[in-house]
Structure 1
Amino acid sequence: MSDESRIVPREQLPSNGLHPLPMPVINLGHLTLEPAIRARVVRDIAKACQDLGNFQVINHGVSQSVMDGAVEAASDFFKLPSEIKEEFASEDIRQPVRYHTSSKDGISLSRALLKLYAHPLSDWMQYWPEKPPIYRDCMGNFAVEVRRVALQLMGAILEGLGLGKDYEHDKFEEGLQLLSVNRYPKESEGDSTIGLAAHSDYGFLTILLASSQGLEVVDRNSDSWKVVPQLPHALHVHVGDPMEVLSNGKIKTVVHRAVLNPKEARVSIASIHGFALDEKVSSAKELVNEQNPEKYNESSFSDFLDHLTSNMDKKPRNFLESLRK
Structure 2
Amino acid sequence: MEKLVSNWYNVEPVPENYIFPPEQRPGNVHVPIGEGIPVIDLSEAEKGGRTLTIQKILKAAQDFGFFQVINHGVSENLMNETASVLREFFEMPSEAKQQVYTEEFSKSCILFTSSISYAQEKIHLWRDFLKHPCHPLHKWQHFWPQTPTRYQEIVGACSVEVKKLASRILGLIGEGLGLKSEYFEEELSGRMIMTGLHYPPCPEPSLTLGTSEHVDADVITILLQDEVKGLQILNEDEDKWIGVDPIPHAFVVNIGALLQVISNNKLKSAKHRVVTNKSRFRTSVAFFVTALEDSVIEPAHVDQVHAPAMYKPFTAKDFVAKYLESNADTEATLGYFRA
Band the TM-score falls in, shorter-chain normalisation:
0.7 to 0.9
TM-score of the aligned structures, taking structure 2 as reference length: 0.84
Deviation digits for residues 256-279 of structure 1 (CA, Å, limit 9, x no counterpart):
001113331000000111111322
Look up the match of 2:187: 171
Moved more, 288-297 or 245-254: 288-297
Whether 1:207 and 2:222 are equivalent positions in the alignment is yes
Look up the match of 2:31: 18
Look up the match of 2:307: 292
- Does the 8 A contact of 2:215 with 2:272 survive in 1? yes
| Partner secondary structure for residue 285 of structure 2 | strand
- Does the 8 A contact of 1:247 with 1:287 survive in 2? no
Runs of 5+ unmatched residues, structure 1: 1-8
Whether 1:251 and 2:275 are equivalent positions in the alignment is no
Quote the offset at 1:51 in angstroms: 1.2
Whether 1:186 and 2:186 are equivalent positions in the alignment is no
- CA 1:162 to 1:15, structure 2 compared with 1: closer, same or farther past 3 Å? farther
Of 53, 64, 75, the residue aligned with 1:63 is: 75
- Does the 8 A contact of 2:214 with 2:329 survive in 1? no
| Partner secondary structure for residue 229 of structure 2 | coil
Of 136, 143, 154, the residue aligned with 2:152 is: 136
Of 39, 43, 68, the residue aligned with 1:29 is: 43
Distance 2:196 2:316 in 1: 19
Look up the match of 1:3: none
- Does the 8 A contact of 1:308 with 1:317 survive in 2? no
- CA 1:52 to 1:13, structure 2 compared with 1: closer, same or farther past 3 Å? farther
- Does the 8 A contact of 2:82 with 2:154 survive in 1? yes
Distance 1:245 1:58 in 2: 27
Identity of aligned pairs, percent? Answer: 33
Deviation digits for residues 233-285 of structure 1 (CA, Å, limit 9, x no counterpart):
2111110100111011111111100111333100000011111132221111x
Look up the match of 2:172: 156
Distance 1:65 1:247 in 2: 35
| Partner secondary structure for residue 297 of structure 2 | coil
- Does the 8 A contact of 2:326 with 2:333 survive in 1? no
Look up the match of 2:4: none
Of 117, 128, 136, the residue aligned with 1:112 is: 128
Distance 1:185 1:117 in 2: 24
Runs of 5+ unmatched residues, structure 2: 1-20
Distance 1:225 1:136 in 2: 36
Distance 1:235 1:27 in 2: 11
The size of the alignment, in residue pairs, is 312
Could you tell me which amino acid in structure 2 is paired with residue 226 of structure 1?
I
- CA 1:214 to 1:150, structure 2 compared with 1: closer, same or farther past 3 Å? same
- CA 1:199 to 1:277, structure 2 compared with 1: closer, same or farther past 3 Å? same
- Does the 8 A contact of 1:202 with 1:301 survive in 2? no
Quote the offset at 1:32 in angstroms: 1.6
Look up the match of 2:7: none
Distance 1:231 1:309 in 2: 33
Distance 1:110 1:215 in 2: 14
Q: How does 1:226-305 map to 2 (within 5 A)?
A: 226-284=242-300, 286-305=301-320
- CA 1:252 to 1:190, structure 2 compared with 1: closer, same or farther past 3 Å? closer
Look up the match of 2:211: 196
Look up the match of 2:322: 307
Whether 1:96 and 2:96 are equivalent positions in the alignment is no
Look up the match of 1:82: 94
Quote the offset at 1:83 in angstroms: 4.0
- CA 1:169 to 1:20, structure 2 compared with 1: closer, same or farther past 3 Å? same
- Does the 8 A contact of 1:240 with 1:253 survive in 2? yes
Look up the match of 2:17: none
- Does the 8 A contact of 1:13 with 1:223 survive in 2? no
TM-score of the aligned structures, taking structure 1 as reference length: 0.88
Quote the offset at 1:92 in angstroms: 4.5
| Partner secondary structure for residue 152 of structure 2 | helix
Distance 1:128 1:44 in 2: 37
Could you tell me which amino acid in structure 2 is paired with residue 220 of structure 1?
E
- Does the 8 A contact of 1:180 with 1:271 survive in 2? yes
RMSD: 2.5
Distance 2:95 2:326 in 1: 30
| Partner secondary structure for residue 318 of structure 1 | helix
Quote the offset at 1:203 in angstroms: 1.3
| Partner secondary structure for residue 99 of structure 1 | strand
Could you tell me which amino acid in structure 2 is paired with residue 204 of structure 1?
V
